[in-house]
Structure 1
Amino acid sequence: MDDLDLIRERAQAVGFAPAEQLAPARERLLAAARGERPHRSRRWFWAAGTAIGLAAAITAVVALAPADRVGIGAGVAHADPVKVLTEAASAALREPATPPRPDQFLYVKTEYPDHHVREIWLSVDGTRDGLLAKDTPLPGCHDGKAPYSGPYDPKKKGTLEDCRPTPAYRADLPTTADAMLAYLRTIPGGKDSVSTMGKNVLGLVGERALTPASYAAVYQAAAKAPGLKALDHVTDGAGRPGVGITFPVPPGSSPEAQPIVLVFDATTYQFLGTEDSAVTVKTFVDEAGQRP
């Protein structure tokens, strides 16, 4: 490992201080070195021990800044939300476009911090019966009819009602940012707030399957939302590290209201989940209840 590798490794471990704090921190560090070390020690610091000295210097300068200002935890982010979402769109376009068969099921496994696991099997075309957690049936829409699912009414138990299939695979969604933005606003609540838009985005990329072009359009549309923020060094519900995109809560919301945070891999920009959930498996299977 050469000097630059050591510096890079150290910097990734501790993060960087904001630019406005680097200059005074550096001066304090150099002043301390000049006043406390004899000439020989200073020479070793900058010459004989260059790699160790520079790594220590980086650590010292960072340590002089408050912890919540150097990218530790969910402090001030260095990432730009528009750039992250644009990169996520590019990553989506690189995925293979392999449509499933209509008789297949979308299997999604979601993990949560409390070790709870959610498994769901959704009919690709919406006409077949799916499953939630292996034991809860999710009736499909057969020939325009489905079992009654409204408010409890003993007289309607076991009866059928008119329905429209809700397919898990949406090949019909827009493939441009503007058209997708317009679509997101047609979803109930989509015009109300940026927070609701974030939830609608999660609904599409979490437990639905889209074409690569539509996935990209979702992220490009989301990038147009006002007030987005990026958070460095966040983790999803399974503890996987990434960068978070925050969709702010509406003005006047309760102090307890928390913004939705979508988490993306900081290197590949693939969607991981949220701070409270992690999509760890998402694929197509042939039968409801089948695991890949």
Structure 2
Amino acid sequence: MDELELIRERAETVGFATADDLAAARARFLAATRTGPRRSRRWFWAAGATTIGLAAAITAVVTLAPADRIGVGAGVANADPVKVLTEAAGAALTEPATAPRPDQFLYVKTALPEHQTREVWLSVDGTRDGLIGDTKSAGCRDGKAPVYGANDPTKEGTLEDCVPYPAYRADLPTTGDAMLAYLEAHHSGEKGDTNAIGKDVIDLAYEQALSPASYAALFEAAAKVPGLQAVDHVTDGAGRPGVGITWPVSPGSSPDAKPEVLVFDTTTHRFLGTDTTAVMAKTFVDQAGQRP
């Protein structure tokens, strides 16, 4: 076993230190090199340094932080997709837990390719008229919703049957196993289509609002989907760097089919968007058309 192999083994065992811990360790090391005898400083840099000495020096730094404090880290190579999603779940639990009022609207601003922007105002309880861009989005009241933006002008404003589709999903599971069962029962593709589940995860994370416990359960459920892969050094649709998580496309898909890629911030582990889109703002407002 050479020096690098031993260092790698030790690092994987004890975990990496935080930037603050490393700064403190670096300061102690530099102080030692300035004040210690010349012979004690030379061993670390000399080509003949022993493997044990080098590994011990690395261990002294990496053990400053317990393994459960390891982050994804900016530009990390070979990220663990399960760990990324687990940390995203933990970040979701830190979000405010106060539910919106039924008469409010979920405002989401999304950056799209070619410098385009999408803004939506969606009814929290699904009963009030919202907006998708400049177009009205009908709310469902007493089983009826008005028709807006119809190709046939005679149908504009007429009523059609509906069920409310709330933007705030208070009905979703709050554990990873239950959320996975929900996704498998309601996903948009065929049974076993993991990429379809990935798309549904994105839909729930994008223009819908969940409780912090349900957001955490969503990412915990995603971590249980087979075939997960991490995409390192990826950026979201706004160019923000992060770490990506993706699933393989379903068998029989077009050769041009590309898997969905969820992008998470490498420091906060919060969901940023995808590799082609980005969530720029997401909050509750009191009126359709109102911006935070």
Same fold (TM over 0.5): yes
How far did 1:155 drift?
7.2
Please show how residues 83-98 of structure 1 align to structure 2 within 5 Å.
Answer: 83-98=83-98
Gaps of 5+ in 2: 1-21, 27-41, 47-74
Contact kept? 1:121, 1:132, Cα under 8 Å:
yes
How far did 1:236 drift?
0.1
Distance 2:251 2:270 in 1: 30
Three-state SS of the structure 2 residue aligned to 1:196 is helix
Deviations 1:242-264 (A, max 9, x none): 00001210123222111100000
Change (3 A) 1:270 1:225: same
Distance 1:223 1:260 in 2: 15
Contact kept? 1:184, 1:190, Cα under 8 Å:
no
Matching residue of 2:110:
110
Contact kept? 2:125, 2:165, Cα under 8 Å:
yes
Matching residue of 2:63:
none
Contact kept? 2:148, 2:157, Cα under 8 Å:
no
Matching residue of 1:12:
none
Matching residue of 1:137:
136
Distance 1:264 1:148 in 2: 37
Change (3 A) 1:219 1:190: farther
Three-state SS of the structure 1 residue aligned to 2:88 is helix
Deviations 1:49-80 (A, max 9, x none): xxxxxxxxxxxxxxxxxxxxxxxxx9x94111
Gaps of 5+ in 1: 9-42, 48-73
Deviations 1:98-145 (A, max 9, x none): 111110000000002411000000000000000011x20001002221
CA RMSD in angstroms, aligned pairs only: 2.6
Change (3 A) 1:100 1:93: same
The one-letter code of the counterpart of 2:158 is T
The one-letter code of the counterpart of 2:84 is V
How far did 1:96 drift?
1.6
Deviations 1:171-224 (A, max 9, x none): 110001111111112233263511100100000000000000000110011111
Distance 1:154 1:125 in 2: 28
Distance 1:192 1:289 in 2: 40
Distance 1:278 1:86 in 2: 21
Aligned residues: 225
The one-letter code of the counterpart of 1:238 is A
TM-score by length of 2: 0.71
Distance 2:284 2:120 in 1: 11
Matching residue of 1:167:
166
Deviations 1:220-245 (A, max 9, x none): 11111111100111000000000000
Distance 1:233 1:112 in 2: 20
- What percentage of aligned pairs have identical amino acids? 71
Change (3 A) 1:106 1:151: closer
Contact kept? 1:169, 1:209, Cα under 8 Å:
yes
Distance 1:109 1:94 in 2: 22
Three-state SS of the structure 2 residue aligned to 1:120 is strand
